Amino acid sequence: MAGEVVLRLRGSDDHEIEELIVNGTFAMDSVDTASERRLADVAFQADRSVRDVLVGGLGLGYTAAAVLQRDVRRVDVVEIQLPLVAWARAGLTPTLAAVAADPRVRLHVADIADVLLRRAGDPAGPWDAILLDVDNGPDFLIHDQNAGLYTPTLLAAAYRRLRPGGTLSIWCQGLAPELYQLCRSISSTAAEHRVHTRRGDREWEYAIYSLTSPGS
């Protein structure tokens, strides 16, 4: 199901813009990565230590890089596209290079659904934080098969892979009221975090949904 992936570099050497196209659809670029980095920040908001982290979707590496700014022990990054992992190991962009070279990182080529449903042997967790940014959200999918990620089965499975007090957070390209409702049906800790963005005269909001499991 992985389809085609393209990494395009444009601009000049001192201001290069990275662009990721998956399955012929624009996935993201490096112009403004605030929401990708905020996905990581949400996991560190609670007053508890976060040691082991699962990042679903390597992309251009900005979420993983934000996690690595913290005092974490191990970061499992699960990416379905083998070329992206190879490009990270080859150091095609500075961010991907830094993620791949960090000794705390394990890069896995797998479908995050298989990991969360424990159909993949490794990585097995549990984790203190699970950060999911593998698609645009339930309303605008790049991969139709990722629809399953935004279902009660998958979200409950992800929630169960958390250590006590751990946080699950999910990136969306816009507000997703049905997903928020689903998160609330799993835990009363469900929260919506909005990230306001402006490009030229266009303005919009990304959304991150989070759930925290009961502490021990």
Residues that bind ligand SAM (CB under 6 A): 5, 22, 27-28, 36, 56-63, 78-81, 84, 111-113, 133-135, 143, 146
DSSP 11: E
| H-state helical runs in the chain | 34-43, 62-68, 82-90, 94-101, 112-116, 152-160, 177-186
Distant-in-sequence, close-in-space partners of 78: CB < 8 Å, separation ≥ 6: 54, 55, 56, 57, 108, 110, 111, 112, 115, 123
Between residues 70 and 184, which has the closer beta carbon with respect to ligand SAM? 70
- Supply the minimum distance, in Å, between the C-beta of residue 164 and ligand SAM: 26
- Supply the minimum distance, in Å, between the C-beta of residue 145 and ligand SAM: 7
- Supply the minimum distance, in Å, between the C-beta of residue 45 and ligand SAM: 18
Separation of alpha carbons 212 and 7, rounded Å: 34
Between residues 23 and 165, which has the closer beta carbon with respect to ligand SAM? 23
- Supply the minimum distance, in Å, between the C-beta of residue 179 and ligand SAM: 16
**Strand duo 191-199 + 5-12: pairing:** unpaired
Backbone CA torsion sign across 80, 82, 83, 84: positive
Between residues 143 and 163, which has the closer beta carbon with respect to ligand SAM? 143
Determine the Cα angle at 206 with ends 201 and 208, to 5°: 165
Beta bridge partners of 128: none
- Supply the minimum distance, in Å, between the C-beta of residue 32 and ligand SAM: 11
* Contact assessment for residue 129 and residue 51, using Cβ atoms and an 8 Å cutoff: no
Separation of alpha carbons 112 and 118, rounded Å: 10
The residue nearest ligand SAM at its CB is: 59
Q: Which amino acid is at 57?
A: G
Between residues 5 and 211, which has the closer beta carbon with respect to ligand SAM? 5
- Supply the minimum distance, in Å, between the C-beta of residue 160 and ligand SAM: 18
